[in-house]
């Protein structure tokens, strides 16, 4: 199995409307080997555009945004070819939200307050599931 240095970096889109939390996540992602933060957006339409343009392997997605919602992003990008893996990171870790996210294809649903530190582990898991770069 290739090492982190031998595979293509995991390209991550961050969808978060809190500037403070976005900066905290930017710092955290900067410490994860093999991860590249491609963009930070704070609203539904920018997130949908970024995902549809391709080149994103994983999305860290807040559910409540300045304009729109994370669920709107998920619905608008359902059915695209080669969809990115989505990590929902929310302060609203309600059971009905978790179920709805799962119905929309989300495998990772994290509570900001209790599971923030799991993000590097989840990103490594996603990277391990992706095909290694061919040389």
DSSP 110: E
pLDDT tier at 6, thresholds 50, 70, 90? low
For residues 60 and 16, is the Cβ–Cβ distance under 8 A?
A: yes
- Quote the strand ranges of the chain, DSSP E: 10-15, 35-41, 58-61, 85-90, 108-111
* In the chain, domain spans: 4-129
What is the CATH code of the structural domain delimited by 4-129? 3.40.50.2300
pTM: 0.92
Examine the pLDDT at 7 and tell me if it is beyond 90. no
Q: What values do phi and psi take at 102, rounded to 5?
A: -65, -40
d(CA 121, CA 19): 23
d(CA 21, CA 70): 16
pLDDT tens digits, residue range 23-57? Answer: 999 999 999 999 999 999 999 999 999 999 999 99
Closest CA to 111 of 44, 45, 59, 62: 62
């Amino acid at each position: 199995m290739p090492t982190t240095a031998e595979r293509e970096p995991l390209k991550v889109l961050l969808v978060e409307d809190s500037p403070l939390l976005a900066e905290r996540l930017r710092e955290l992602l900067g410490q994860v080997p093999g991860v590249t933060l491609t963009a930070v957006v704070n609203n539904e339409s920018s997130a949908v555009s970024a995902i549809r343009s391709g080149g994103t392997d994983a999305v860290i997605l807040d559910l409540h945004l300045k304009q729109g919602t994370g669920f709107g992003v998920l619905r608008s990008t359902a059915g695209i070819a080669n969809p990115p893996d989505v990590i929902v990171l929310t302060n609203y870790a309600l059971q009905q939200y978790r179920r709805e996210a799962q119905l929309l294809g989300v495998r990772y649903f994290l509570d900001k307050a209790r599971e923030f530190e799991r993000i590097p582990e989840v990103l490594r898991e996603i990277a391990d599931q992706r095909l290694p770069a061919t040389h």
